[in-house]
Structure 1
Amino acid sequence: MKILKYMLIFVPISFVAEFLHAPSYIMFILAALSIIPLAGLMGEGTEEISHYSGPKIGGFLNGTFGNATELIISFFALKQGLFDVVKASIAGSVIGNILLVLGLSMLAGGLKHKTQTFNKKVVEVSSSMLLFAVVGLCVPALFTHTVDQSLLNTRYEGLSVIVAIIMFAIYVLSLVFSFYTHKDIYSINVEEEGTAKWSLKKAITVLVVATVLIAIESEFLVGGIESVTHSLGLSEFFVGIILIPIIGNAAEHSTAIVMALKNKMDVAMEIAIGSSLQIILFVAPVLVFISLLFTPMSIVFNEFELIALIVAILIANRVSNDGESNWLEGVQLLAVYVIIAASFFIL
């Protein structure tokens, strides 16, 4: 999208502002406006690489680098000890993908094409995996209410690592499932269109440069979180669960909507549900492992985050039942998202 390329002007502006020691909340806004087009460039780079690597590897790269922005932002938040923001951004990414992205995709696609269909088997596998992942997140939270609080520091840290290892192992097995043992299920989604606009060298260079710049901008962004929460009266939960996921995944979100408008609901569903799956089974465990280098982060989510996650996953399972979607289902998903966002806003 052309508007994303114009937004790249905020990258040098943010560097100048940092040099001039601009207020933290200004740096937060400039970093947010810079990350959105950089994430778009990263997505474009992986898409170009997929023309050389093949559709299956390309799809995997798109999913992985689609969540790279979220991982980088969370890394710097983790480094500063903002655990509530990190966990809220994990929950927010899943909720945003399933309710906001999928809702907008179904609404836009449904208004243009009335009823759209998608590969029911693929979505059922992904949504079932999501349900398992949320169960994995619920168990540690229940554990905190049943064990002596004085033992939590010693026992719970180990439980978080164990849960993270199991989730990461399931993620690896899901790749084996989709790439080898049951790749026939996914064959409907491996159409490659068009030819590469960039050379492989250019695509890799753009991907590397965009990743480095996102890392720098993420440090600016995280440095301004506390200032923004105080200046605008926002809670860290709202920033983590609503703002950061939207900033980090804006380019990916727009891609899902464009695919739905082109009547490619399979691709839109994969972006929304597949990305959510990768957030819980890959990004969350990796962040737990990284936290061991600083201050270990628990994998306990608060009650409302868990309820919001469970509601989102149950809706994803319900939507995938018939293999069809329409604009009204999109409106329903968006309504739930707005209710959840409003609830976190007033916290």
Structure 2
Amino acid sequence: MKKFISPGLLVLTFLLSAIGHYAHWPDTLQFIISAIAVIFVAGFLGKATESVAHYAGQRLGGFLNATFGNAAELIIGILLVREGMFETVKASITGSIIGNLLLVLGLSLFAGGLKYKVQRFNVPLANMNGSLMIVAVIALFIPAIFLQTHVLHEEDRTTLSLVVGGILIVAYILWLVFSMITHKKYLSDVVEEHKPEDGAAEEHGPAWSKKRSILYLILATVMVAFVSEWLVHTLDTFTQKFGLSEIFVGAFVVAIIGNAAEHSAAVLLAMKNKIGAAVEIAVGSSLQISLFVAPVLIFISHLFGKPMDIVFTIIELAAIGVSVFIAKSIIQDGQTNWYEGLLLLSVYAILGVSFYLV
């Protein structure tokens, strides 16, 4: 854990992004610099979270990474909602869900599997996560079917969206109570009894002290928030200049950049045989996006006087559905290998090409 992104590069990219934004550099240049800055800051965030996870345990550490990692996506979502860019918001939510389930989880299983033949984690936790993912799909699928097959008044669309959003938020909060309090031991981490395989490095202590790790975690989150806001202001010009659709930019470009924190932390943890934390980051982040962030954005949209409904397009629902299906089938046995990671990445590539051609 002592090896880390150069602090100089981290500060340099952050300052360049700030200068580019406030000095009104060309939008394309701003976008490139801000995207690079988000990735560097996300790496810092991932390392801070990994250090916190050493003190808090794999499950809580994974939850913290998912939460702080999603801070960037939540902030980006709020800014897009304020601008009334609802299609991009929904595409970004879709991209976050499939990005975590296919790209983040896939890279983690692949990287960890190359180093360790088989990696194991808690089976009951895997099954519970699978069930929650199905609930998330149902919650997005049902409103779309009812609202697209029946003519409902605008007030009814708003009511249905708010009710479904409220139910999802309550379900997510109760899941945290269930997993972190009442059934904490039942869903506890799997401790590997075998020693690292030949060539595997021994586990080192955390990079920083407990207090410093928490401080860096907060600092990294604040930095991500600023860079994310600077990035959002360049999206319109970037999309129009390169002739990209909102759904592709939201589902892949924004989502990949926003998920940079999860990418770095999950892969690093998987390569250290902490697959439980890696799965918690990837799957937990998807659950947090679908059960908490998306509903919260619906409620926030009303504060801006621009109500957003919970109706996703058929393309978005299909992408989320297949992602949940393949992810659940792979993690439900509580053990993984590199080929399962490759399968997830293959599905992500198929969806990426399909979205690009829309």
**Fold in common (TM above 0.5):** yes
Q: 1:23 is aligned with what amino acid?
A: P
Matched residue SS, 1:187: coil
Q: Quote the Cα distance in structure 2 between the aligned partners of 1:271 and 1:332.
A: 19
Q: Following the alignment from structure 2 to structure 1, what is the Cα–Cα distance between the partners of residues 207 and 112?
A: 27
Q: 1:34 to 1:315 in 2, by over 3 A?
A: same
2:45 counterpart residue number:
42
Alignment correspondent of 2:320:
309
CA–CA distance in 2 between the matches of 1:73 and 1:182?
33
Q: Do the aligned partners of residues 307 and 4 (structure 1) sit closer, same or farther apart at CA in structure 2, a change above 3 Å counting?
A: farther
Q: Tell me the percent identity.
A: 48
| C-alpha separation in 1, matches of 2:47 and 2:335 | 29
What letter matches 1:109 in structure 2? G
| Residue in structure 2 matching 1:253, options 243, 255, 263 | 263
* Structure ranking higher in helix proportion: 1
Offset of residue 122 of structure 1:
0.7
| Distance in 2 (alpha carbons) for counterparts of 1:113 and 1:203 | 28
- Kindly tell me: are residues 92 and 292 of structure 1, through their superposed partners in 2, closer, same or farther at Cα, counting changes over 3 Å? same
Task: Measure the CA separation in 2 of the matches of 1:59 and 1:307.
Answer: 27
2:134 is aligned, of 131, 134, 149, to 131
Change over 3 Å in CA distance of 1:103–1:50 after alignment to 2: closer
**Which of 2, 5, 9 pairs up with 2:4?**
2
Evaluate the alpha carbon distance shift between residue 257 and residue 57 of structure 1 in structure 2; reply closer, same or farther with a 3 A threshold: closer
Unaligned runs of 5+ in 2: 193-202
CA separation of 1:115 and 1:214: change in aligned 2, threshold 3 A: closer
Alignment gaps of 5+ in structure 1:
none
Match of 2:333 in 1: 322
Give the alignment of 1:3-152 within 5 angstroms: 3=5, 5=7, 6-49=9-52, 58-148=61-151, 151=153
Shift of 1:180: 2.3
Please tell me whether residue 185 in structure 1 is matched to residue 205 in structure 2: no
Q: Any conservation in 1 of the 2:43–2:265 contact (CA below 8 Å)?
A: no
Deviation, 1:47, is 4.5
Which residue of structure 1 aligns with residue 197 of structure 2? Answer: none
Q: Distance in 2 between matches of 1:321 and 1:210?
A: 33
- For residues 246-274 of structure 1, the C-alpha deviation after alignment (integer angstroms, 9 at most, x for no partner) is 11121321222222222222222111111
The AA in structure 2 aligned to 1:211 is T
1:256-275 counterparts in 2 under 5 A? 256-275=266-285
Question: AA paired with 2:179?
Answer: S
Matched residue type, 2:99: G
Distance 1:130 1:4, change over 3 A: farther
The answer (yes or no) to whether the contact 2:172–2:291 under 8 Å persists in 1 is yes
Superimposed CA distance per residue, residues 5-52 of structure 1 (whole angstroms, 9 cap, x where no aligned partner): 424421111222223321222212211111122223334444445566
Matched residue type, 1:300: V
Q: Residue 104 of structure 2 contacts residue 262 of structure 2 at CA under 8 Å; is this kept in 1?
A: no
- 1:138–1:255 distance in 2 versus 1, CA, 3 Å: same
What is residue 176 of structure 2 aligned with on the other side?
175
Partner residue of 2:347? 336
In the alignment, what sits opposite 1:219? 229
**1:123–1:273 CA contact under 8 A, matched in 2:** no
